[in-house]
Amino acid sequence: MVALEKVSLFIIGQKLIQPNQKVVLGFSGGPDSVFLAHVLIHLQQNIPFSLNLAHLDHGWRATSSNDAQFCLQFAKKNNFHASLGLAHDFASAFKFNGSKEEFARNIRKAFFKKVMLDTQSDLLALAHHADDQLETFFIRIMRGTTISGLKSMLPKEGHIIRPLLNVSKKEILHFLDEHNIPYCIDETNKSELFLRNRIRNKAIPACQEADERFTQNSLRTINHLAEVETYLAKNTQEIFNNISLLFDNQLTIDIQKLMSIDLFMQRRLVIYWLCTEKVPFNPSEKLIHEILRFLQNKKAMAHTVHNWTIHKKNLFAWINHLN
C-alpha cells in the first residue's frame, strides 16, 4: 500500500482536493487511471468528495469499445457515475494539423469540458505520472519551448489536478499487479508513429543506460524550472501592473515603459497582456515578435490578429475585440 499512501499524502499536502468538491476522473481504463481511481476511492475515507468517471473512445482500435465496457463495469462496481463519449462526435470542431496526438488531445479537452459542465464538477483529475512528466519535458525540448514550457506539468493548474506526478510507472504497475487489479492495455502506446512513444521506448532508456541518475536528476531539474517559472510569473504580474492602467474602462499599455524593459521580459509581458484580455492566440515566437515590432513602429496605428486588433495612440496601446 506504499504507493497508495504516497499519493494520498501528496494530494493532502498539495491541497489538490477540498471537502465536498465534485471530481471528474479522466478514465481510459489503462493502468494509470485505474490506479488513480483506487487512490481516490481510498482518499474518500479521509476527505468527503464525489467522483465521476469520464471515458472517451477514440475509435483508433477495433477493440476500443471493450475499454468503454470496462469503464462502465468499474463504475458500477464502485457506485460511480460514468460519462462515455465518442471522439468523432467532437472531431468536427478541430482542424487536423498533421499531429494525431495534438488532434486527440484537443478532442479530449472538449469532451472533458462537456462532462465537467454536465456534472457541474469542480476538478478534473488526470493520471499523468513521473514518467509522463519526463516524456513531456523531452517533447517540449525537441519542439522548442520557453521556461514556462520546460516546467512541464504542475500538480494543479486551474481546475486540473495531477495527483500522480510523484510516482513512477513502475510503482503503479507494482501496486496493480500485487493486488491483482485488472486494467486495459492500449496497443497504440507501443506504436512508434507517435513521438511520445519513441521518446519513451528509445530516448529515455538510452539516457538511463548512459547514467542511472538520469531520471532522478531530470525530475529534480524540472522541479527547479517550476520554481523559476513561479518566481518569473509573480514578477511578470508585478511589472505588468506597473506598465498598464485602466483608461475609460480599457486596459492600456504604456509602450515606453514596456520597451525600457529587457526583451526577455517584454515577451512575457505581451503574452500576459493577451491572456489578460482573453484573446485567442498561438503563443509562437513569431507572433510575439510581430506584436513587439508593431509597438515599436511609430507609423503603424493598428494591427489585427484573427478577431482582435491592437490600437496605438500617444505611446499607449490597447486591444479591441472585433465582432
DSSP 251-301: EEEEHHHHHTS-HHHHHHHHHHHHHHHT------HHHHHHHHHHHH-SS--
Model's pTM, two decimal places? 0.84
CA gap 20, 22 in Å, rounded: 7
Rounded CA gap, 12 and 15, in Å? 5
- For the chain, counts of helices (H) and of strands (E): 13, 11
The whole-number pLDDT of residue 248 equals 85
86: Cβ contacts below 8 Å, ≥ 6 apart: 56, 57, 59
Compute the chain's Rg from CA coordinates: 22
Asked if 137 and 218 touch (Cβ cutoff 8 Å), the reply is yes
pLDDT score for 263: 96
Bridge-partner residues for 320, per DSSP?
Answer: 309
Domains of the chain: 2-222 (3.40.50.620), 248-321 (3.30.465)
191-195 long-range Cβ contacts below 8 angstroms, 24+ apart: 193/100, 194/100, 194/101, 195/101, 195/139, 195/142
Give, for 19, the enclosing helix (H) or strand (E): none
Please give the average pLDDT of every successive group of 10 residues along the chain, which has 323 residues: 85 95 95 96 94 86 82 93 84 67 82 94 96 92 86 91 95 95 84 86 93 93 92 96 92 96 96 94 90 92 92 93 77
Task: Please list the helix, strand and coil fractions of the chain in percent, rounded to the nearest 5, in that order.
Answer: 55, 15, 30
What DSSP line would sit under 92-153, residue for residue?
Answer: GGS---S-HHHHHHHHHHHHHHHHHHHHT-SEEE----HHHHHHHHHHHHHH---HHHHT--
Of 28, 197, 168, 16, the residue nearest 100 (C-alpha): 197
Count of Cβ atoms closer than 10 Å to residue 319 Cβ: 20
Answer whether 173's CB lies under 8 Å from 31's CB: yes
Task: Dig out the grid coordinates for 131 from the structure.
Answer: 514518467
Give the contacts of 15 (CB within 8 A, at least 6 positions apart).
none
pLDDT of residue 14: 93
Distances (CA, A) of 280 to 39, 96, 267, 275: 37, 18, 17, 8
